[in-house]
Chain A
């Protein structure tokens, strides 16, 4: 299975790390999650902010897909979100920004243990998968919305009376 190039690079980097350095780098990424938030002046096509019943805090996913088809995410996390989830947020923003919506939807979740290590994927740390699922949901919502808009526009054009 191939991943977007930036994500592939991160996976390969983590896979080579011994456990202490893996943890250290995860901490660096968790610190970097704060920079994944929306920046002033940025415009997004879709905003999905919610606190799911199975999550400890609110997660906001903001998505813009430009004319060239490149996706750009911003993600905002509530303060109670676990450190590992923060780290995964920064990893996914870096690894998936610039990918096409189709590439994001095709990313399998099996890379998670390769980054965080088998020891940290366990009971009470399953939220590491959550952010990826929310990003995919945002992409799917945006694609569905654009398809509906395109269909509406097409309907309007075909129903116009002949000149």
Chain B
């Protein structure tokens, strides 16, 4: 095992590029690419990888919500994923969407899941093979999960509001200018329909990127602890909510806190700033 992983709270939640390259054909594994760039998978992907599109496959198409148990089971079936399959997620943007897809899989209790450390960027940077050949997995059975377990992993608006009023710990993982209220869009992105700039009162700023190295891999446990325990003062039994704009960058931080550092109760507020910032009669703070 990669010695860096051994330091994490759950070392087996990550694989590195070297391991994946040697295990592309290992039975019982399904590699899943999830990207922000909608056509990136079509341009080339890790051999054998299937594509899960965050918007088309994971979001409900008419309600701002995630797919239900039936649709999740169907998604798994058509991608050759059974409850015993180990799903290895990777993607662009330092694994934002890979962590997001991983998080959605946890809503349905699919715990045989891992993330490729460094994601697509590292795989490409190392000159490892990509293909345009699309796998055609044999349809398999995936029993419909009894329910979607939102309570353990997800925070709704009302819960976040109560959390704020109770002085609960919140981590705003957006860029500093989004947090302060100076910008209503993410750096390098167009406006996404946010009416107000600022942050949830009481939330601490800690941009997601602080958890990643230049090569897009996660920082070491010691480096992460220095940030989240040292600077933010988070304790392992704190009830923590992470948020961003729509829940993808905060999935990255959720993954770091829960799996790499072992925080016991971390939830992702996927409504995030596009909900909170626009909600009528909802308080915000600015720091400009």
Known: A27-B42, A30-B43, A119-B56. A82 touches B37 (CB 8 A): yes
Which residues of B are found within 8 Å of A156, using beta-carbon distances?
A: none
Which residues of B are found within 8 Å of A30, using beta-carbon distances?
A: 39, 43
Chain B interface secondary structure, helix, strand, loop or mixed? loop
Q: Does A53 contact B (CB under 8 A)?
A: yes
* Cross-chain contact B39 with A123 (CB below 8 angstroms): no
Q: Does A124 contact B (CB under 8 A)?
A: yes
Chain A interface secondary structure, helix, strand, loop or mixed? helix
Which residues of A are found within 8 Å of B187, using beta-carbon distances?
A: 53
Q: Taking CB as reference atom, which chain B residue is nearest A130? A: B190
- Shortest beta-carbon distance from A58 to chain B in Å: 11
Q: Taking CB as reference atom, which chain A residue is nearest B39? A: A83
* Cross-chain contact A23 with B42 (CB below 8 angstroms): yes
Q: Tell me the count of chain A residues lying within 8 A, CB to CB, of chain B.
A: 22
- Shortest beta-carbon distance from A89 to chain B in Å: 13
- Shortest beta-carbon distance from A117 to chain B in Å: 10
- Shortest beta-carbon distance from B67 to chain A in Å: 16
Contacting B at CB under 8 A, from A80-114, are: 82-84, 87
Q: How far is the CA of A83 from the CA of B56 in the complex (A)?
A: 18
Q: Taking CB as reference atom, which chain B residue is nearest A82? A: B37
Q: How far is the CA of A127 from the CA of B40 in the complex (A)?
A: 15
Which residues of B are found within 8 Å of A127, using beta-carbon distances?
A: 190
Which residues of B are found within 8 Å of A54, using beta-carbon distances?
A: 185, 188-191
Which residues of A are found within 8 Å of B191, using beta-carbon distances?
A: 54
Contacting B at CB under 8 A, from A115-149, are: 119-120, 122-127, 130
Q: Does A55 contact B (CB under 8 A)?
A: yes
Q: How far is the CA of A101 from the CA of B99 in the complex (A)?
A: 46
Q: Does B192 contact A (CB under 8 A)?
A: yes
- Shortest beta-carbon distance from A20 to chain B in Å: 10
* Cross-chain contact A83 with B188 (CB below 8 angstroms): no
Contacting A at CB under 8 A, from B167-194, are: 185, 187-192
Q: Does A65 contact B (CB under 8 A)?
A: no
- Shortest beta-carbon distance from A14 to chain B in Å: 14
* Cross-chain contact A120 with B190 (CB below 8 angstroms): no
- Shortest beta-carbon distance from B244 to chain A in Å: 13
Known: A54-B185, A119-B56, A123-B55. A27 touches B190 (CB 8 A): no
Which residues of A are found within 8 Å of B40, using beta-carbon distances?
A: 82-83
Report, nearest first, the 7 A-B pairs whose CB atoms are least far apart: A83-B39, A82-B37, A56-B188, A54-B190, A126-B190, A27-B42, A83-B37
Report B's interface with A, CB cutoff 8 A: 36-40, 42-43, 55-56, 185, 187-192, 246
Q: List 24 A-B contacts (CB under 8 A).
A: A23-B42, A24-B42, A26-B39, A27-B43, A54-B185, A54-B188, A55-B188, A56-B189, A82-B36, A82-B37, A82-B38, A82-B40, A83-B39, A83-B42, A83-B43, A84-B39, A87-B39, A119-B56, A120-B38, A120-B39, A124-B36, A124-B38, A124-B189, A130-B190
A27-B42, A54-B185, A83-B40 provided; 20 other pairs, C-beta below 8 A? A24-B42, A26-B42, A27-B39, A27-B43, A53-B187, A54-B188, A56-B189, A82-B36, A82-B37, A82-B40, A83-B38, A83-B39, A83-B42, A83-B43, A84-B38, A84-B39, A123-B55, A123-B192, A124-B189, A126-B190
